Chains A and B, each alone.
Chain A
Amino acid sequence: MAEKKTIGQEFRKGLLTENPVLRLVLGTCPTLATSTSMVNAIGMGISVTLVLLCSNMVISLLRKVIPSKVRIPAYIVIIASFVTILQLLVKAFVPALDAALGVFLPLIVVNCILLGRAEAFAGKHPVLASAADGLGMGIGFTAAVFCMATVREFFGSGTLFSGADSLLGLFGWTSFTGVDVFSHIPGMEPILIFILAPGGFFTFGLLMACANRIAERKGRQKAQLRDCASCPMAAGCALRADNETEKEGAEA
Chain B
Amino acid sequence: MKYYIAILLTAILTENFVLSKFLGICPFLGVSKKLKTAVGMSAAVIFVMAMATAVTYPINKFLLVRNNLEYLQTIVFILVIAALVQLVEIVLKRYIPALYNALGIYLPLITTNCAVLGVVLLNVEKASADAAFGFAASMFNSIGAGLGFMLAMVMFAGVRSKLEHANVPKFMQGLPITLVAASLVSVSFLGFGGVIENIFG
On A, residues with C-beta under 8 Å from B are 25, 28-30, 32-33, 73, 76-77, 80-81, 83-84, 87-88, 102-103, 106-107, 109-112, 115, 193, 196-202, 204-206, 208-209, 212-213, 216, 222-225, 227, 231-233, 236-239, 242, 249-252
A110 and B179 contact, Cβ closer than 8 Å, known pairs A103-B122, A197-B22, A239-B31: no
- The complex places the Cα of A102 from the Cα of B121 at a distance, in Å, of 10
A110 and B114 contact, Cβ closer than 8 Å, known pairs A80-B79, A224-B175: yes
State whether B111 touches A201 (Cβ < 8 A). Answer: no
- The complex places the Cα of A200 from the Cα of B36 at a distance, in Å, of 27
Q: Write out, one digit per residue, whether chain B residues 102-134 have a CB within 8 A of any chain A CB (1) or not (0).
A: 001110110111100110011001000000000
A217 CB, min distance to chain B CBs, angstroms: 11
Which residues on the B side are within 8 Å of A232 (C-beta)? Answer: 112
State whether A109 touches B171 (Cβ < 8 A). Answer: no
Question: Which residues of chain B from 159 to 201 have a CB within 8 Å of any chain A CB?
Answer: 171-180, 182-184, 186-187, 189-190
Q: List 15 A-B contacts (CB under 8 A).
A: A33-B22, A76-B78, A76-B82, A80-B74, A84-B72, A87-B74, A103-B125, A106-B74, A199-B183, A200-B183, A206-B180, A208-B176, A209-B176, A237-B109, A242-B105
Number of residues of chain B lying within 8 A (CB) of chain A: 53
State whether B118 touches A103 (Cβ < 8 A). Answer: yes
Confirm or deny: B62 has a beta carbon within 8 angstroms of a beta carbon on chain A. Answer: no
Which residues on the A side are within 8 Å of B122 (C-beta)? Answer: 103
B163 CB, min distance to chain A CBs, angstroms: 12
Closest to A202 in B: B183
Which residues on the A side are within 8 Å of B60 (C-beta)? Answer: none
**Interface residues of B: mostly helix, strand, loop or mixed?**
helix
A109 CB, min distance to chain B CBs, angstroms: 5
Which residues on the A side are within 8 Å of B108 (C-beta)? Answer: 233, 236-237
- The complex places the Cα of A249 from the Cα of B180 at a distance, in Å, of 29
Which residues on the A side are within 8 Å of B73 (C-beta)? Answer: 106
Closest to B24 in A: A29
State whether B22 touches A32 (Cβ < 8 A). Answer: yes
Which residues on the A side are within 8 Å of B118 (C-beta)? Answer: 103, 107
Which residues on the A side are within 8 Å of B79 (C-beta)? Answer: 73, 76-77, 80
State whether B21 touches A198 (Cβ < 8 A). Answer: no
5 nearest CB pairs, A to B: A205-B179, A201-B183, A209-B176, A33-B22, A80-B75
State whether A212 touches B82 (Cβ < 8 A). Answer: no
Known: A106-B117, A242-B37. 17 other contacts (CB 8 A): A29-B22, A83-B74, A84-B75, A103-B121, A103-B125, A107-B114, A109-B117, A112-B26, A198-B186, A205-B178, A213-B171, A222-B175, A225-B178, A237-B105, A237-B109, A239-B37, A251-B104
State whether B105 touches A107 (Cβ < 8 A). Answer: no
State whether B117 touches A107 (Cβ < 8 A). Answer: yes
State whether B22 touches A208 (Cβ < 8 A). Answer: no
Which residues on the A side are within 8 Å of B29 (C-beta)? Answer: 28, 225
Partner of A198, one of B23, B24, B25, B183: B183
A87 CB, min distance to chain B CBs, angstroms: 7
Which residues on the A side are within 8 Å of B105 (C-beta)? Answer: 237-239, 242, 249-252
- The complex places the Cα of A205 from the Cα of B176 at a distance, in Å, of 4
State whether B30 touches A225 (Cβ < 8 A). Answer: yes
Partner of A87, one of B31, B71, B190: B71
State whether B175 touches A208 (Cβ < 8 A). Answer: yes
